[in-house]
Chains A and B, each alone.
Chain A
Amino acid sequence: MSTTRESSAFRAQRLAPYLFLLPYVVIALSFTLYPLLNAAELAFYQTNGPASRAYVGFDNFRFLLSDAVFMKALKNTAIFATCSVFLQLPLSMGLALLLNSGKSRAKAFFRLVLFSPNLVGQIFVGILFGVMFTPRYGLINRFLQTLTGWGLEEQWLGNPALVMPAIVLTSLWVWVGFNMIYFLAALQSVDKSLEEAARIDGANRWQVFWNVTLPSMRPVVIFVLITCISGSFQLFELPLALLPDSHGNGPDNAGLTVIGYLYQVGFDSGDLGLGSAVGWVVAVVIFTLSLLQIRLSGAAKEAA
């Protein structure tokens, strides 16, 4: 009697992990693996809506490479990613350093405030800033006018040269505080005695930061850097809401991103095949970045 109960308990224990993982496996097979294979196939077809399709070989990719609009979208996205890395991350790090040396109660307050824009969805941010960039009356235009005397009548969202700066400025508001949270958490786990030793050896603040603090934050810095770049390559909702008159394209396509292009060809025009091809281009970029992250953080672990 007791042996059968025991064996049934053991059987339950053996079966349990499979049952617990079953929902994930079903979802992953049907909504990740199958669509992935499907996307690989679909990229070689031209489709008109979800139902009809025709095999076109590599034509989708050939078309993308020769399409000036796609190239423009790729260029815009790359510019945005570059600006994000070189403006967002130093600003985030600067604020994290300032906060890290402060008192803990003030620290909690500033951290809360600086992070708060991240609660607002990209669509909402776009709506908000779209009105704040209004010539003559917008908050940003008035602020710039007061500060520098320039910018009151500037058509941020109507001038091709100013569209990307406007998107970058808006993204700073959203993401500087987000990255800062990660940097701050990393700064708090840096070994204080190492910094102290460097200071006793006569290193100045900058040398301590550059040679001691930054290297010991390396895994987090790499994580934030890669997240920032791969996030930048998926930028879509912010320009869409910021530039509503042109569905996120902006004047002269100055605000068009790669994902915006995907949305338009795939879902507005109904060519899911071409959309899949664009998806693969993004996937290759992000995949390369992820591999880079694994290599770099692996190297960091070996060095440590």
Chain B
Amino acid sequence: MNALHALLFAALGVALVLYVRSPKNPGPALRYLRNVTLIGATILVLAPFFWLIAAAFKDRSVFNSYIFFPPPSEWSSHTVNLDNFRRLLHGDDAVQGKVYFWQYLLNSLFFASAGTVLQLFFCSLAGYALAKFEFWGKRTLMTFMLGSLMIPGVLLLAPVYRMMVGLRFIDTYHGLILPGIVSVYGIFLFRQAILAVPGEMIDAGRIDGCGEFEIYLRLVMPLVRPMSAAFCLVTFLGSWNSFFGPSIFLQSQDKLTLPVILNLYIGQYSNDYGVFLAGTLLAIVPPALLFFALEKEFVSGLTSGAVKG
């Protein structure tokens, strides 16, 4: 019997009391159990995050002494400090000279942002063409696109890698970004959203003398802004967290992205958990900030394809 058991028993006890008080109407007892379950699940989900924050700020010497943070009485600069971050940021010696952690952060930021902006542009452009134009070859193209959705990316990695070597694109960002500047998934998402834009508006734009690209940029894009935000979030997150591509295509130390370098750090700092956990914390902060800022768009963007489809 320990504190955790006592807590669980108490929670069940309250449910029992609620039920015994009115066995014919189990509503309150069930509602209570539901809330207890949800709160329990919340604690289980959040515990690793809280543990990670504590691990990043705990001194190396007391890493295993406390599960989370030390109790207030033992809280001092010897137990809780920025030492892990200091060691993380002191830089790696590489062929390219000293490489600092912020370099990897910038690399990830550049890779994810550039990929996202290009995908937003090319996917929406293609989605607009499929939504609002009739042209020769449209059916064939869409069949091909649907078919290509079934090809798993891993199948193409080996041949694409060979192509990249042939093109001398290995270890460059344009080589890493280029294959991903447009995706079928994104095109269909934008096509779906742009189908709802009234055709009269586009015709009115033409009568007013707008060029075709101007109509796309000035009339259509502003109308699908919520969808665009959701799409950008999902795309950014995917690139930020992607590992397979960057780990194969990038070689120079000063070009690596966060997932790649942190995966290397596990081996390099094998018993010095604090350092790579501090790095992991820094790596999950930017997407978390984005997510909390744009949570509603994010969820609707994720589910729009599945529920309507």
Contacts and interface: CB of A to CB of B under 8 A. Distances in A.
A255 interface: no
Contacts of B283: 121, 124
Q: Is the interface of B mostly helix, strand, loop or mixed?
A: helix
Contacts of A282: 152, 154-155
A185 B129 contact: no
Nearest to B264: A244
B2 interface: yes
B73 interface: no
Interface in B217-264: 237, 240-244, 248, 259, 262-263
A283 B129 CA distance: 30
B67 A120 contact: no
Given A13-B206, A272-B162, A287-B150, A124 B155 contact: no
Given A13-B206, A220-B306, A99 B4 contact: no
Nearest to A49: B165
Contact of A24 (B45, B48, B187): B187
Contact of A23 (B5, B125, B159, B277): B125
Contacts of A113: 42, 45-46
B131 to A, nearest CB: 10
* Chain A: interface size category: 35 or more
B25 interface: no
B262 A119 contact: no
A150 interface: no
Contacts of A230: 152
A276 to B, nearest CB: 5
A111 interface: yes
Nearest to A266: B158
A99 B262 contact: no
B266 to A, nearest CB: 4
Interface stretch (B11-19, B83-91, B284-292): B284-292
Nearest to B260: A123
Nearest to A280: B155
Interface stretch (A70-78, A80-88, A139-147, A195-203): A139-147
Contacts of B178: 27, 31
A127 B135 contact: no
Interface in A28-58: 28, 30-36, 38-39, 42, 50-51
Contact of A279 (B37, B46, B154, B292): B154
A23 B49 contact: no
A11 to B, nearest CB: 10
A279 B41 CA distance: 37
B95 interface: no
Contacts of A38: 159, 162-163
Nearest to B155: A279
Interface in A11-30: 12-14, 16-18, 20-21, 23-25, 27-28, 30
Interface stretch (A61-69, A130-138, A158-166, A207-215): A130-138
Interface stretch (B74-82, B99-107, B295-303): B295-303
Given A115-B299, A240-B263, 20 more contacts: A16-B129, A16-B212, A17-B138, A23-B182, A28-B184, A31-B163, A95-B41, A98-B34, A116-B46, A121-B259, A124-B262, A139-B48, A139-B67, A146-B2, A237-B243, A266-B158, A276-B158, A282-B154, A283-B151, A290-B149
29 contacts: A13-B206, A20-B126, A20-B129, A21-B126, A23-B126, A27-B182, A28-B182, A32-B148, A34-B159, A34-B163, A35-B163, A39-B156, A98-B34, A112-B295, A113-B42, A121-B241, A123-B241, A124-B262, A124-B283, A137-B64, A142-B67, A146-B2, A146-B4, A185-B306, A220-B306, A230-B152, A266-B157, A279-B157, A280-B155
